[in-house]
Amino acid sequence: MKNLFKTKFNTACIVLIPTCIGINYLGKLIASTLKLPLWLDCIGTCIGAILGGPLIGAICGAANNLIYGFTTGDNITLIYALTSLGIGLAVGIMARLSFMKKTSGALLTAVVGGLTAVVISTPLNILFWGGTTGNIWGDALFATTQASGFPVWLGSFLDELVVDVPDKVLTLLIVFAIVKFLPNKLVSLYTSDDTIEKLD
């Protein structure tokens, strides 16, 4: 258990972070090119979290939103830096508890990551957007709950839930498929529990 948050801050891990941020961007780009009703904007964060551990995942997530917020004009993402940080941390912890070895474990990780995102995003949604998320399916559900008199927080929670959990499930299945086939000489750069043996 003591290795849960152990992180190597070597050059390899530092280089991993911008790559993961780039992957996040690509995921979002592909989702919008294929017009999928999901975000797919945290593939990189999850890869970072699985390879580098919870702390690298958290840094990937937070840096991702901060960089895009301050440079690409999509500054609403700034406040969701907290959500991304939470996803990175949650997925990283699940991976360190070796849940990412099997597909069923990957699904469980996805649910945990998705719920973390929902719990952190809902208050932010209510505060800044009055409860909407900007996703068509989720907002349609939000409008229905508001029309039938549910409180804003419950509507917003459901709005986020129906989008975030399927989104994270698909994300982590993609991540699981990719990480499984990465060459060992790459993965070993990031593992923190290796020991050095001396021959003399």
Out of 7, 28, 41, 47, the only residue in the binding site for another protein (CB under 8 A) is: 47
Stretch that binds another protein, among 87-95, 101-109, 111-119, 181-189 (CB under 8 A): 181-189
Interaction with another protein in 113-172: which residues (CB under 8 A)?
128-132, 134, 139, 142-143, 146-147, 149, 151-152
Alpha carbons 159 and 137: distance in angstroms, whole number: 8
Residue 96 beta carbon to another protein: minimum distance, rounded to whole angstroms: 19
Q: Which of 73, 104, 193, 196 binds another protein (CB under 8 A)?
A: 73
The two three-digit tokens of residue 148, written as one number: 């039938």
Q: Minimal distance in Å, beta carbon 64 to another protein?
A: 9
Q: State how far Cα 85 lies from the chain centre.
A: 8
∠ CA 62-89-126, rounded to 5°: 60
- Residues 101 and 40: their CA atoms lie apart, in Å, by 22
C-beta of 168: minimal distance to another protein in Å? 15
Query: Locate tokens 């406040």: which residue?
Result: 79
Alpha-carbon distance of 187 to 59, in angstroms, equals 19
CA trace torsion 32, 35, 39, 40 (10° rounding):
-80
**Interacting residues with another protein (CB under 8 A):** 9-12, 14-19, 21-23, 25-27, 29-31, 33-37, 43, 47, 63, 67, 69-76, 128-132, 134, 139, 142-143, 146-147, 149, 151-152, 174, 177-178, 181-183, 185-186, 189
